[in-house]
Amino acid sequence: MIANVLYLFALAILSPWILYRRLRHDRYRLGWQTKLFGLSANHASRLRESDRCIWLHAVSVGEVNLLGGIIDRLNALDPDLEIAISSSTDSGYQLAVQRFGDQRVFFCPLDFTWAVRRTLRNLKPAALVLAELELWPNLIRIAKQQDVKTIVINGRLSDRSAAGYQRFGFLTQSIFQSLDQVECQDDASAKNFIACGTPAARVSISGSLKFDDAPHTRDCVEVHSRARWAGVDPWHAVWVVGSTQEGEEQMAIDIYRHLRQSHQELRLVLVPRHPERFDRVAKLIASAGLISHRRSVDASLNDVSWDPDRVILVDTIGELRHWWGVGHIATVGGSFGDRGGQNMLEPAGYGSAISFGPNTRNFADITRRLLDAHGAVRVHDIDQLQAFVERCLTDVPAADALGRSAKSVVEQHRGATDRTVTAIANLIGLPATPKCQAA
């Protein structure tokens, strides 16, 4: 009850900001009934047709991208198992629908007791599977009351977050104690979950699903079709700057304008992180005297040439993974401000020469592995980033070696999906091998 009051108070405080974002950026228009009141019986009946169901929750785009292998393997173990997938954001929901179909996807309810109870009552899942770290008090408490097993997969808990949870341990410890299983990305996260209250016997290290989700090769239709659309020629050196935040696009544009004077082969692809910033980035490109070629304008148009004054602006959701494969030079955004970085394993899987900024706390273990293996370069400002890109252009063998090392790191650490699926199967009593294979 106290949590409900706090949530309502927070919602009232944030309502002007939410209304502004809805009107200005067209956010928060989808799924508000499910978010506020929970999953209806009619909607739940479309999500599950059999007696066996699990609820898999992925917060946004990054988490949704990790689910494909998990879902495929679970369905192989039991084809009759229904998997309902929820997301919290518009972009995450849209990508989940695109990848898994709208008959499987719904918006996660807000953590009000009535919304959570209604969702669990109507969906009747055998297990609640939470990707990374989405620990809501009412959701986990009510799931336990209704005998729904709760497991965190790809668990990531930084020292900073763990310290915050422990500071309010009188409120949060019961949440961590209620988790039935936690599959962590690394040893540090495992220790932090235990320190926050999860019994050590329920905590395991399965590795990061992001390694398994990383691409294997550029030789695929998804990459080739985008390269054709962009007009990439074999002599081009394509620099992809992805998952960018405020200020990072301007930095990339300034570097591009400077380097292209002496490197006519250089081309730039910008992929902002948030849809509401697409128009703003287009204006930045125009103000620099360049032409923005927006992916959303006509994704089916195949260009035959790429004007050096043109910058590709990927203003669509869920495509960054394939655009990393179009370029051989990659800069991972979200790392020059205070966001904590974004996933650098997708360009690593392609064997790109990777750089990122000084703040990568969200991917500390992955960053360390790449840097230790000489598979990436950390830069601290615009001058260092420009020097990195210029070296990739002037010393191609060094750039290729950087990419090979990055790809090697990815290949060495694959396998988390199998370990994670085994943990889920053990928790809800699925067979150890696919039914068709066992037969």
What's the burial of 356, exposed, middle or buried (CB within 10 Å: 0-12/13-18/19+)? Answer: buried
Joined together, the tokens standing for residue 400 give: 């290729």
Let me know how long the chain is: 439
Q: Which among 63, 82, 183, 249 is annotated as catalytic?
A: 63
Query: From CA 135, how far away is CA 198, in angstroms rounded?
Result: 12
The answer to whether the CB of 323 falls within 8 A of the CB of 240 is: yes
Q: How far is 37 from 19, CA to CA, in rounded Å?
A: 19
- Quick: pLDDT tens for 415-434: 999 999 999 999 998 886 77
Average pLDDT over residues 304-309: 74
The residues near 368 (Cβ < 8 Å, ≥ 6 apart) are: none
Band of the pLDDT at 438, cuts 50, 70, 90?
A: very low
For residues 315 and 142, what is the distance between their CA atoms, to the nearest angstrom?
39
Q: Domain ranges for the chain, please list them.
A: 31-214+415-433, 221-412
Quickly list H helices, 128-178: 137-145, 159-167, 169-178
DSSP string spanning 202-255? GEEE---HHHHHS---S-SHHHHHHHHHHT--TT-EEEEEEEE-TTHHHHHHHH
Nearest CA to 160 out of 361, 15, 357, 7 is that of 361
**Average per-residue pLDDT in the chain?**
91
More confident residue, 305 or 249: 249
- Angstrom CA distances, 235 to 92, 267, 313, 394, 401, stand at 36, 10, 21, 13, 19
367-397 burial, b at 16+ Cβ within 10 Å, e below that, comes to: bebbeeeebbbbbeebeebbebbbbbbeeee
pLDDT digits (tens, 9 = 90+) for 20-74: 565 565 565 677 889 999 999 999 888 877 778 999 999 988 899 889 999 999 9
Report pTM.
0.82
What per-residue confidence (pLDDT) applies to 373? 97
Sheet holding 181-184, edge to edge: 105-107, 82-87, 53-57, 127-131, 149-155, 181-184, 203-205
Please confirm, yes or no, whether 249 is among the known catalytic residues: no
Q: Which CATH architecture has domain 31-214+415-433?
A: 3-Layer(aba) Sandwich (3.40)
Closest residue by Cα to residue 58 from 11, 25, 99, 7 = 99
Mean pLDDT of 350-358: 98
Can you identify the CATH homologous superfamily of domain 221-412?
Answer: Glycogen Phosphorylase B; (3.40.50.2000)
Same fold, 31-214+415-433 and 221-412: yes
At 211-254, the pLDDT tens digits run 999 999 999 999 999 999 999 999 999 999 999 999 999 999 99
In whole angstroms, what is the distance from residue 258 CA to residue 250 CA?
Answer: 12
